[in-house]
Amino acid sequence: MSYRSFDLDRSIAKKQIVAVTGLLLIFFIIAHLAGNLLIFGGPQALNGYTQKLASFGLLKSVAEWGLFFIFGIHVLLTASLVLENIQARGGISRYSIDNSKGPRWWETRLMPYSGTYLLIYLIWHLIDFSWANQHGIRSIIHGVSYGLYGVAVNSFKDPLHSWLYVVAMFFLGLHLAHGFESFIQTFGFNDRRFAPGLKKFSRWFALSMTLAYSSIPLYVLYILKI
């Protein structure tokens, strides 16, 4: 096997790992959304869900570390593939304008920027919610601590906070649409009979995730009365 064919095989393997880890992350995004939507049920519903998760103890910790590992592999290999593409195309300037293989979707063009925004926002989101003191001052509404529900409400009552979240969910939608289509292509599910339907589904799925996630801060900011 020549060096070039070995390098090609390695690149394909990376794409497959990125596709599989991306699919696993999509499952998490769906499950996470299901939990977040409980905010519409009030403090008892959301806090009850949080307490139930906490009751799993060690199992919850293992799942979280597994998720971090999957996410880390996904990000690192994606960055590696982007760098390889840039080198193959002769540099960043050529990479950015090279349309020799046909027009690229506008979400694909935004991927490096949206991905960077999402990564920065994810770190902030973890600090802001997951690692926050859920019984501290940020949880208090009218002198009463409402746990995670209070933290979320107080955070999303800030317009800047809410709209940064909405922008992040918009970029997440772009990644979901692009990622799902990449998964289809990577594993050869691009048969003429199924590819159009699968691609259309990927876009509707991405849109539904964006709207569902965005509904949470917008509900708190503009509808919820406290």
Residue 69 · residue 55 · CB < 8 Å: no
pLDDT for the residue numbered 190: 67
pLDDT tens profile 191-202: 677 777 888 888
Domain residues of the chain, as ranges?
3-96+112-222
Question: Vertex 199, ends 110 and 166: CA angle to 5°?
Answer: 45
Residue 175 · residue 183 · CB < 8 Å: no
User: Residue 93 pLDDT more than 70?
Assistant: no
Question: Is 11 exposed, middle or buried (CB count within 10 Å of its CB: 0-12, 13-18, 19+)?
Answer: middle
- Contacts (Cβ under 8 Å, ≥6 apart) of 69: none
* CATH topology assigned to domain 3-96+112-222: 3 helical TM bundles of succinate and fumarate reductases (1.20.1300)
Question: Vertex 33, ends 198 and 149: CA angle to 5°?
Answer: 165
pLDDT tens profile 40-63: 999 999 999 999 999 999 999 999
pTM: 0.86
pLDDT tens profile 135-170: 999 999 999 999 999 999 999 999 999 999 999 999
- In three-state form (DSSP H/G/I as H, E/B as E, the rest C), the secondary structure along 123-175 is HHHHHHHHCCCCCCHHHEECCEECHHHHHHHHHHCCHHHHHHHHHHHHHHHHH
- Contacts (Cβ under 8 Å, ≥6 apart) of 147: 43, 46, 47, 50, 134, 135, 139
User: Residue 90 pLDDT more than 90?
Assistant: no
